[in-house]
Structure 1
Amino acid sequence: MNELISKRWSPRAFSADATVSAAELRTVLEAGRWAPSHGNSQPARFIAGHRGSETFAAIVETLTRGNRTWAPKASVLLIGCVLTTDDKGDIPNVEFGLGLAMENMALQAVDLGLIAHMMGGFDKQAAHTAFAMPDNARPLVAMALGRQGALSDLPEDLQAREQRERKRLPLSDTVFTGTWGQSELG
């Protein structure tokens, strides 16, 4: 397995002093742009703002209380959206396209020495309104992007979560052959 995949994780300890350059952000966004999508429909769209910008502040306002305790220290905040229709009609599997774009971006961030944390904890309707999104745009996920910060800067409960062992279900629990629940993988 590629080391980028095993190194990727979702830390919350961001350095409030660090920056992500415009070139680094562009590289991360380019990685998202090149993600596969259903029929090459490319439904992924992003709202992105550097810390200190109005866009960043507006994204912070949409975050849940828990995410507001750490995400504002990130260098960049993004909201990943999908377009649900185009000039041909409904776009199928839009979540698939955005998910692949977000993963490409997270892996590109690791390659650049950055950290990324995706969040479902934000007010999607507030984001839709704050950024005057068209009716066929749907915000689905937020992302904090930046550089690793000090664990001690997090509240105690989050410090403990940051230090937990990373676990994944074994393949035998997720890959089945023939009948659901039966696996040939050990």
Structure 2
Amino acid sequence: MTTSQLQWAEPTEIRNPTSAPIAPLLAARWSPKGFDPTHVLSDEQLTSIVEAARWAPSMQNSQPWRFIVGRRGTETFAKIENGLMAFNQGWTSRASALVVFCRTPVSADGKTLPYADYDLGQAAAHFTVQAAKLGLSLRQMGGANLAAIAESFALPESIAPKSVAALGVYSDDAGSIDEKTRQADAAERTRLPLDELFAVPAE
């Protein structure tokens, strides 16, 4: 596969009212629940996204992340969705794929990785941004029975699910997206003001 086989998406709408200039891709990124139920995630898209996550930084290059990806209509997708809380199952069925972000807390030589969760978060961020570059959206969620998901895939103790995300193409088509979801996706996006993000004043 070469990058020429992929379609890079340039932001067409800046959704985030930033207080300082940032990369357009980040200014446009968001996490909708309304997905196009006809979109199919290609092998090229999936490979590109996971490749981006593969190159996330980690302590001593330990790479303590593993992913479970199930496309809509597959047994893997169904297993992941069955582990979600009911309020998430109401909209995830339209996603192109469901992703479980897992972390491996012990290195290959048996040493404990104290920053495994932090590093998994960095991989998830890379995963998210690369998806956006391909014109896809990722909605991460905490409403899942992670223990049940681990059991359904017979995961070893060394691979621990930490979060789930829905991946796909945004849609607000009234024919396939319920009004509650449409309204939630249309809500104003907000963040804490910059001066509240510094634990101590910047110098």
TM-score when normalising by structure 2: 0.84
1:117-148 alpha-carbon deviations (Å, 9 max, x no partner): 11111111001101111112210111111111
% identity of equivalent residues: 36
CA distance in 2, matches of 1:54, 1:95: 27
Partner of 1:180: none
Contact kept? 2:172, 2:182, Cα under 8 Å: no
Contact kept? 1:64, 1:122, Cα under 8 Å: yes
Partner of 1:138: 160
SS in 2 for 1:139: strand
Name stretches of at least 5 consecutive residues in structure 2 with no aligned partner.
1-21
1:17-43 alpha-carbon deviations (Å, 9 max, x no partner): 111101101111111111111121100
Q: Return the offset for 1:155.
A: 3.5
Among 20, 24, 30, the alignment partner of 1:9 is 30
Q: Which amino acid aligns with 1:129?
A: E
Q: Return the offset for 1:50.
A: 0.9
Name stretches of at least 5 consecutive residues in structure 1 with no aligned partner.
178-182
1:148-186 alpha-carbon deviations (Å, 9 max, x no partner): 122533333332221111111111111133xxxxx469x
What is the number of residues matched between the two proteins?
A: 180
Partner of 1:174: 197
SS in 1 for 2:140: strand
SS in 2 for 1:66: helix
SS in 2 for 1:105: helix
SS in 2 for 1:122: coil
Partner of 2:106: 85
Partner of 2:19: none
Among 4, 16, 20, the alignment partner of 2:41 is 20
Contact kept? 1:43, 1:97, Cα under 8 Å: yes
Further displaced range: 87-96 or 28-37: 87-96
1:54 matched to 2:83: no
Q: Which amino acid aligns with 1:161?
A: A
1:149 matched to 2:171: yes
SS in 1 for 2:114: coil
Contact kept? 1:13, 1:154, Cα under 8 Å: yes
Partner of 2:12: none
1:43-86 alpha-carbon deviations (Å, 9 max, x no partner): 01001111111101111101111110111111111100000112
Higher strand share: 1
CA distance in 2, matches of 1:134, 1:81: 11
Among 134, 139, 145, the alignment partner of 1:112 is 134
Higher helix share: 1
1:90-127 alpha-carbon deviations (Å, 9 max, x no partner): 11111111111111111111110111111111111001
CA distance in 2, matches of 1:141, 1:6: 24
TM-score when normalising by structure 1: 0.91
Contact kept? 2:171, 2:177, Cα under 8 Å: no
CA distance in 1, matches of 2:39, 2:146: 28
